[in-house]
Amino acid sequence: MVKIIYVLAFLIASICSIEAQDYSLRQSQMIADLKIIKHEFEINYAPFEWKRKYLHWNLDHEVTKAKEKILSSLSLSTKQYHQIIRDLFNSVQDLHTYVRFYATEYAFLPFCVQGVQGHYFVVWVDNLWAKEQKVSLQVGDEILSFDGSPVEEVVEKIRLSAFGANRNETYQHLSEWQLTLREAFRLQDVPQGPIEIVFRKPNSQQAHSFVNWEYAPEEIINNYSLSMPLNLERGEGAKHRFFYQERILPFYASLVNHSSCLANKAKLLGAKANLFPALGPVLWRADLPDFEAYIYSLKGSKNIGYIRIPDFQGSEYRVEQFQQIIAKMESCADALIVDVMNNPGGFSFYTYALASMLTCKPLTNLKQFLSITQEDVYLAVQTASSLKNIVTDHEAAQALGPDINGYAVDKRLACYLFKYAKYIQDQFKQGKYFTDLYPMDGVETIYPHPTTQYTKPLFVLTNPLSISCAELLVALLKDNERAIILGGQTAGAGGTIVRRKYSNRFGIADLVFTGSLVCRYNEQPLENRGVKPDVAYRWTTEDYTKDHANFIDFVNGIVSCSMDGLLPNPTDILEEIIFESR
């Protein structure tokens, strides 16, 4: 009997020893991976010095904190390790910089909410789902509790988990959006089954419903030992050309590529139509697949055009639609309102294409600092070689194609790109891994479209979910004194996206960095600051319960005052005017 006890004790000790050795190996590999991630930050992250100055951010300090968390744990799970890495990425407070993990589990409910003044209102609901589930939830209803907890507590928990200390309005709205969308690759706890939602109707009547999460299970198990092989193949991805770089909120880009059912839920960001109804009696409406556009009567005396740009992920086909609309607006509208609220961004050349039709004068482009590696120099050498002998528009189109994201190619653009490619080479020869300030994408000036231009008063609607390329258009028009900006301050994220992968056994899928730091006319960064409106609007609960009547009055009031000469021209607005909702 004693021998049996000794044998069992020996076996238990051996197992514990093996487990301890295995965890020690895991811990060592976590530290090694952390060093790789730190190195990727140093190589790819362009706003490095800006974050140090603006946020007092220090990469060494943040990495040391992460290392201490790893070493202080006696048994760190893969998910806990993911949380440590996610916190490291959150420390830069950058909407373009994040880490994504391999996971397939998600759950969602077919409605979205948005908060204002501590209240949370339904801004979109799948009416077919509501009818089938016999749920009386409608746009304008206020959510009071969610799964037994006050909704504000649930949203705050989501914000802390997803974004940490980041508290500005953009992060708040993205947290609200995730109330009804939980994804494991964002390290969220993914619920299943029924939950109770308590909500209040606009007439103050309280109601409640039990609804079931639409659920997709996890297909990837990450609780593996280092002794287990895991093959993470490195995808080649799209062909990289330095003038095709993305400027889009990764949160949105990953969502719409996730699955068709989640893409259909993306109604708050990138939607064809905005949350508010027509701004007045509609006289004409465009019948086009990608744009909501119309002309309405303002006080029966002025015809005002409205066009919504849902995102900047366009092509030549979308540019042609936009051109049709602008031609109509130029001939029939006394002023034009361009709506880039709830716009997640896209590609800068598409932005240039649209901007060229909103002006009759050349627009001086924004500038940026750019992080560069030998890969960028290699691509620059190839580009310069293919463009060096171009002297005609036809030759330019043969080398580059007829357009870049809808922006027409001609010999002037080819010359810009050639100079840009040579500039990158020269900067690298000087030993600079972060370039000096240079026009974005090499495009120094955006010239008016040769045939289609809007020449009359221009207004742009913005809010904290005007992100990336949406901000670039706003800054471009504001800094060139072309438009009056109305609404809310933009998000503060205009740089390019750099995606990196590395082989690992911890389920880390992508490292995404901001590869450039965009600056405005005064050479001040757009990052973290965004663009302030010329006339600011503060949303209230009444906007959500009374079909945005106050916001519509605000927009029409400013447009009317401007056209009557009662509001300063864009060149004379030195600081924002704040409009308080009634």
Has residue 327 been placed in a domain?
no
CA 204/CA 202 separation, integer angstroms = 5
Report pLDDT digits (tens) over 124-169: 998 889 999 899 999 999 999 999 999 999 999 999 988 987 888 9
Burial class from Cβ neighbours inside 10 Å (0-12, 13-18, 19+) for residue 7 reads exposed
Do 111 and 202 belong to one domain? yes
Instruction: Give the strand pairing for 335-339 and 484-487.
Output: unpaired
Angle at 53 between CA 49 and CA 59, to 5 degrees: 55
| Residue where a domain terminates, one of 387, 418, 433 | 433
Do 138 and 188 belong to one domain? yes
Tokens at 474, concatenated: 């706003």
Angle at 115 between CA 160 and CA 97, to 5 degrees: 45
Question: Does the pLDDT of residue 574 top 70, yes or no?
Answer: no
Do 111 and 71 belong to one domain? no
Least confident of 19-23, 26-30, 246-250, 509-513: 19-23
Has residue 115 been placed in a domain?
yes
Convert 454-475 into a string of H (helix), E (strand) and C (coil). CCCCEEEEECCCECCHHHHHHH
Has residue 532 been placed in a domain?
no
Quick check: helix, strand or coil at residue 104?
A: coil
pLDDT-derived band of residue 231, with 50, 70 and 90 as boundaries? very low
Has residue 70 been placed in a domain?
yes
pLDDT of residue 338: 99
Q: What is the mean predicted confidence (pLDDT) over 501-505?
A: 93
Do 70 and 89 belong to one domain? yes
Report pLDDT digits (tens) over 173-192: 999 989 999 988 888 889 99
pLDDT of residue 246: 85
Has residue 239 been placed in a domain?
no
- The closest of 296, 363, 276, 284 to 325, measured between CA atoms, is 284
- Tokens 């952390």 -> residue: 34
pLDDT-derived band of residue 512, with 50, 70 and 90 as boundaries? very high
CA 249/CA 527 separation, integer angstroms = 13
pLDDT-derived band of residue 17, with 50, 70 and 90 as boundaries? very low
Question: Does the pLDDT of residue 387 top 90, yes or no?
Answer: yes
pLDDT of residue 204: 85
pLDDT-derived band of residue 566, with 50, 70 and 90 as boundaries? confident
Integer CA distances (angstroms), 549 to 340, 486, 539, 540, 556, in order: 19, 16, 11, 11, 11
Question: Does the pLDDT of residue 97 top 80, yes or no?
Answer: yes
Report pLDDT digits (tens) over 450-482: 999 999 999 999 999 999 999 999 999 999 999
CA 280/CA 559 separation, integer angstroms = 12
Do 84 and 31 belong to one domain? yes
Question: Domain holding 376: CATH number?
Answer: 1.20.920.70
Question: Does the pLDDT of residue 537 top 60, yes or no?
Answer: yes
Report pLDDT digits (tens) over 248-300: 887 776 566 544 555 555 557 888 989 899 999 999 999 999 999 999 999 99
Question: Does the pLDDT of residue 43 top 60, yes or no?
Answer: yes
pLDDT of residue 165: 78
| Residue where a domain terminates, one of 33, 62, 95 | 95
Q: What is the DSSP letter of 240?
A: P
pLDDT-derived band of residue 4, with 50, 70 and 90 as boundaries? low
Tell me the torsion sign for CA atoms 275, 277, 283, 289: positive
- The closest of 218, 170, 177 to 531, measured between CA atoms, is 170
The total domain count for the chain is 3
pLDDT of residue 579: 52
pLDDT of residue 357: 99
pLDDT of residue 259: 46
Do 143 and 214 belong to one domain? yes
Convert 261-322 into a string of H (helix), E (strand) and C (coil). HHHHHCCCCCCCCCCCCCCCCEEEECCCCCCEEEEEEECCCEEEEEEECCCECCCHHHHHHH
Q: What is the mean predicted confidence (pLDDT) over 103-109?
A: 90
pLDDT of residue 69: 96
Q: What is the DSSP letter of 434?
A: B
Q: What is the mean predicted confidence (pLDDT) over 217-226?
A: 60
pLDDT of residue 248: 86
Has residue 264 been placed in a domain?
no
Do 78 and 144 belong to one domain? no
Question: Domain holding 124: CATH number?
Answer: 2.30.42.10
Structural domain for 392, as ranges: 372-433
Report pLDDT digits (tens) over 339-379: 999 999 999 999 999 999 999 999 999 999 999 999 999 99
Question: Does the pLDDT of residue 309 top 60, yes or no?
Answer: yes
Do 112 and 213 belong to one domain? yes
pTM of the model: 0.90
Question: Does the pLDDT of residue 228 top 60, yes or no?
Answer: no
Has residue 69 been placed in a domain?
yes
Q: What proportion of the chain, given as a percentage, has pLDDT over 90? A: 75
Q: Which residue has the higher pLDDT, 582 or 438?
A: 438
Tokens at 140, concatenated: 């304008």
Would you mind telling me the total number of residues written for the chain in this entry? 582
Tokens at 216, concatenated: 């997709």
Report pLDDT digits (tens) over 391-402: 999 999 999 999
Has residue 185 been placed in a domain?
yes
| Residue where a domain terminates, one of 218, 243, 274 | 218
Do 68 and 27 belong to one domain? yes
Do 118 and 139 belong to one domain? yes
Do 121 and 61 belong to one domain? no
Q: Of all helices (H) and strands (E), which one includes residue 381? A: helix 374-387
Do 398 and 378 belong to one domain? yes
